[in-house]
Structure 1
Amino acid sequence: MISTLGVIGAGVMGRGVAQAAAQKGMRVVLLDIADDILAAADNEIRQAIRFAAMLDKKTSAESADDVCQRIEFTTDIGKLAQADFVVENVSEKVAIKQTLYPQLDRICKSDCVIAVNTSAISITRVGSWTERADKVVGMHFMNPVPMKPLVEVIRAHHTSDATIATAKQFLAQLGKEAVIVNDMPGFVSNRILMLTVNEAVFVVQDQVSSARDVDRIFKGCFGHKMGPLETADLIGLDTILFSLDVLYESYNDPKFRPAPLLRKMVDAGLHGRKSGEGFFKYPNLHQAVKKKPSETEMVKQ
């Protein structure tokens, strides 16, 4: 059983993993590079717990204070020495991850499994930056983490059967099911989803339909809860563009070429829900002052 979980990166995905684990009784060490990021994560987790309780009366009566008492918010990477299992959620930039993993090798217990929460970067490549490639596994959580019952788990070239079993056990403790896939760029979910989203952007760019009607067709005809462009706004258009660029480079296949409209919107700062506007507007989420992430920022947006 996993008693202490290390979570690296207090962005949307990191705080979702931390919340889900703390609500299941685990002790969590949530690491990021700045106290203001951690304070914001604490606030967001508390709001998410209260909001979930309002929507679902069957939700545990445990208060946000009780849950957050099990989360240690810290900037000290040395605290990860306590962790039985680590989920890494740093920015999807190879240079940042490559610097981080040798540190984890030195700090984490020898039997600690490290799960890479990524949608694009090769898990086999990440494992090569450590002396424990057999204990490195991909774990692609979906947003919002506490509400999604299934996780895409990626077996890298050196990932052992014991590591896969530990990953399944950890997810079972969270009340989630693992689907095991092999390590190829985009895995299953992003390799297919990014094509769908990108083609939907092309449809809007070519003035075949409005963004709203594209999503109406997917929801009304196919029974999807969200259309591809609403999904893109939720993920973040900058993240969508990054994933497509990685897929395009990895496969050298023109089908992954990002739509020019997508690149233009990202350049304009229209990143979706997190910026207040993407293909749709989110006035209640708009931030009056938008901070541009630095090249060393740890948070996975």
Structure 2
Amino acid sequence: MKKIAVIGAGTMGNGIAHVFAQNDFQVNLIDVSQEQLDKALATIGKNMDRQVAKGSLTEAAKQKALSNLTTNTTIADGVKDAELVVEAATENIDLKLKIFHQLDEAAPASCILATNTSSISITKIAAATKRPELVIGMHFMNPVPVMKLVEIINGYATKREVTDSIVELSKTLGKVPCVVNDYPGFIANRILMPMINEAIYSLYEGVAGVQEIDTVMKLGMAHPMGPLQLADFIGLDVCLSILNVLYQGFGNQKYAPCPLLVNMVTAGFKGVKSGEGFYTYTPGSKDLIVSSRFK
């Protein structure tokens, strides 16, 4: 596989496109918004500039990687020659089902269709196509160029040959693939999200403050980032969406989202992407300031 299409030019999509292009794959980045595509290309260029500055990428390799990138605003044109499509659209089941129905009609019959979903059922997504045996989860971690893990999720009908090919492909990207099965939250978020939710409950119930909760987990459990800061980084709306998938999928009260998280997302406080969550984020500043709402 050398011809890759990536659906969605947001944070995850541009990171996935970056990694494939850097490893000499031909990448067509697809989004309905040309403005978003232009922004994604600029972001990829800046991130590669950082790699050049650190010595992990040469200027020549950067230019070659950028030349591997093309863009398109329609799925039909963007995937017609693809050997692998990686969907990285918003974590919304209805949107993903619509996209996979379109992909099934537009992509070559032999093309593998992968989704970067962090929690939605691969089997359900695959059912929107006539090729469920070629549908698989390929869950990259953010930031994609830095994080080594790729969580590979088998749908109920995914062929072994497809799984094996995606495992080997992930290794060529310099990633470490881990194969898991299709149950709500898979492994990464089935374990991570209840921890984040419990940290939010601890704040909600007044057990400790934002900084205290994060400091305990960083210094006591050797986490590089506290759970509340991590939630801000992931996006509080994304955390809420994943918890709802877990709660609905298992029907277990332990996955019920904390009311504080629900209120914050409803009010538009989504973390880094909105400028404020549990912390306040000032553009250009590296200082981490606890939101005044929790002081």
Which TM-score tier does this pair reach, normalised by the shorter chain? over 0.9
Consecutive unaligned residues in structure 2, runs of 5 or more: 286-295
1:154–1:180: 8 Å Cα contact kept in structure 2? yes
Per the TM alignment, residue 127 of structure 1 is displaced from its structure 2 partner at its CA by 0.9
Instruction: From the superposition, tell whether residues 139 and 199 of structure 1 become closer, same or farther in structure 2 (CA, over 3 Å).
Output: same
Q: State how many pairs are aligned.
A: 284
Structure 1 unpaired stretches of 5+: 287-301
**In structure 2, C-alpha distance between the alignment counterparts of 1:220 and 1:188, rounded to whole Å:** 24
Q: Offset of 1:167 from its aligned partner?
A: 0.6
Aligned to 2:278: 279
Residue in 2 that maps onto 1:167:
166
How far does residue 86 in structure 1 lie from its aligned partner after superposition?
A: 0.8
Paired residue type of 2:43:
E
Q: Which has the higher contact order (CA 8 A, sep 6+)?
A: 1
Alignment correspondent of 1:60 = 58
Structure 2 counterpart of 1:262, one-letter code: L
Give aligned-pair identity as a percent. Answer: 38
Give the structure 1 partner of residue 68 of structure 2.
70
Comparing 167-176 and 4-13, the one that deviates more: 167-176
TM-score of the pair, normalised by structure 2:
0.92
Displacement of 1:66: 3.6
RMSD value, Cα: 1.5
Q: Given residue 74 of structure 2, which amino acid in structure 1 is its aligned partner?
A: D
Alignment correspondent of 1:241: 240
- Scaled by the length of structure 1, the TM-score of the pair is 0.91
Q: Contact 1:7 / 1:86 at 8 angstroms: preserved in 2? A: yes
For 1:35, the equivalent position in structure 2 comes to 34
State yes or no: 1:96 paired with 2:92: no
Q: Is 2:138–2:150's contact at 8 Å kept on the other side of the alignment?
A: yes
Q: 2-side partners of 1:185 and 1:48: how far apart?
A: 32
Confirm or deny: 8 A CA contact 1:84 1:113 kept in the other structure. yes
Deviation at 1:68, TM superposition (A): 2.1
Q: Residue 127 of structure 1 corresponds to which residue in structure 2?
A: 126
Displacement of 1:102 in angstroms is 2.1
1:220-249 Cα offsets, whole Å, 9 max, x none, are: 111111111111111100000111111111
Partner of 2:229: 230
1:41-52 aligned within 5 A: 41-52=40-51
**Structure 1 match to 2:255:** 256
Distance, in Å, in 2 between the alignment partners of 1:62 and 1:218 is 42
1:255-282 per-position Cα deviation (integer Å, ceiling 9, x unaligned): 0111111111112211111111111111
**Does the aligned pair in 2 maintain the 1:46–1:68 contact within 8 Å?**
yes
Relative to structure 1, is the Cα distance of residues 208 and 52 closer, same or farther in structure 2, using a 3 angstrom cutoff? farther
